[in-house]
């Protein structure tokens, strides 16, 4: 693994919100994140609480499923986008079993920063998560300067 620009402890201390209606997948994500060493993890299986949790918890990264009952991932993407100010960089990683090109395009167009198809490789997902968080930290540093 290459040297990171950001200390890994700083990455691991960041807040991560995972939203997936499937218990088993939430459990898997929590497992992966905990194994990586993340401490601030919030998991949701009811997407209706997505926006309020997003606002309250103020995550640094969101792991988002697309196909969910009541409120789907696209709606949440739009809601998050509306909530955040334009100069905010708060990465959303879409994890979905919908492999169609349309879903991929739509999610990325609505502001998702990355897209991974299920079933995913746990190591790959871990790496993408840390990369996105690193980018966010760098972005924040740049803004505070």
Partner 1 sequence: MQQPLVKPSLRFWADRPLAFKGIVVIALPLAILLGSLVSLYLASDAETRAEDDVRRAFAIQRDAYQVHALLAEAAAGVRGYVLTREERFLEPYRRAEADLPATMGRLDIAIEDQVVRGHFEDLRPVVAEKREGLRSTIELANNSVSISPADVERSFVANKLALDAVRSEIEDVQRAEAIVLDRRQLLVDEVRTGFLRLTAVSAAIGLLGSIIGVYLFSTGIVRRVSRLEDNAGKLARGERLSDLPEEADEIGRLAQRLGRASALLRAREDDLRASEERFRLVIERVRDYGIFTLNRHGVVTSWNLGAERIKGWHAGEILGQHFSRFYPEETRDYLPADMLERARDQGAAEDEGWRVRKDGSRFWANVVITALRNEVGELQGFAKVTRDMSERRRSEEALRLAREEAVAANRAKSEFLSRTSHELRTPLNAILGFGQLLEIAEEEFEKHHREAIGQIAKAGRHLLSLINDLLDISSIEAGATELEIEPIDVAPFLEDMHALAAPIVASAGLNFDLEQPELPLTIYADRRRTTQVILNLIGNAAKYNRTGQRVRLAADTERDFVRFIVEDDGPGIAESDLPRLFTAFDRLGQQDRARVEGTGLGLALSRSLAESMGGDLRYEPNSSGARFCFTLSRTHQQASQPQSDGTEIVK
**40 scored as a contact of partner 1 (CB under 8 A):** no
Largest alpha-carbon pair distance within the chain? 43
**67 scored as a contact of partner 1 (CB under 8 A):** yes
Site string for partner 1, 99-138 (x = CB under 8 A): xxxx--------------xxxxxxx---------------
Q: How far is the CB of 107 from partner 1 (least distance, A)?
A: 14
Taking the least distance from each CB to partner 1, the nearer of 96 and 130 is 96
Q: How far is the CB of 42 from partner 1 (least distance, A)?
A: 19
Contact range with partner 1 by CB under 8 A, out of 21-29, 49-57, 75-83, 106-114: 21-29
Tell whether the torsion through CA atoms of 83, 85, 88 and 92 is positive or negative: positive
Q: How far is the CB of 30 from partner 1 (least distance, A)?
A: 11
Taking the least distance from each CB to partner 1, the nearer of 9 and 99 is 99
Q: How many CB atoms lie within 10 A of CB 94?
A: 26
Tell whether the torsion through CA atoms of 15, 99, 48 and 81 is positive or negative: positive
Q: How many CB atoms lie within 10 A of CB 132?
A: 24
Question: What separation in angstroms does the CA of 64 have from each of 4, 94, 128, 138?
Answer: 25, 5, 13, 22
Q: How far is the CB of 12 from partner 1 (least distance, A)?
A: 18
Q: Calculate helix-pair angle for 23-36, 122-144, nearest 10 degrees.
A: 60
| Interface ranges with partner 1 (CB under 8 A) | 22, 24-25, 27-28, 31-32, 35, 67, 96-102, 117-123
């Amino acid at each position: 693994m290459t040297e990171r620009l950001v200390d890994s402890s700083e990455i691991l201390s960041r807040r991560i919100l995972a939203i997936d209606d499937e218990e088993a997948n939430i459990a898997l994500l929590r497992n992966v994140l905990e194994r990586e060493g993340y401490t601030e993890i919030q998991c949701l299986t009811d997407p209706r609480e997505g926006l309020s949790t997003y606002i309250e918890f103020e995550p640094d990264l969101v792991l988002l499923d697309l196909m969910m009952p009541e409120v789907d991932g696209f709606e949440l993407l739009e809601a998050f986008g509306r909530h955040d100010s334009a100069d905010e960089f708060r990465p959303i990683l879409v994890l979905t079993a919908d492999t169609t090109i349309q879903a991929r395009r739509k999610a990325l167009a609505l502001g998702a920063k990355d897209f991974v198809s299920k079933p995913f490789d746990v190591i790959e997902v871990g790496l993408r998560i840390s990369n996105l968080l690193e980018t966010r930290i760098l972005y924040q540093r740049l803004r505070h300067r």
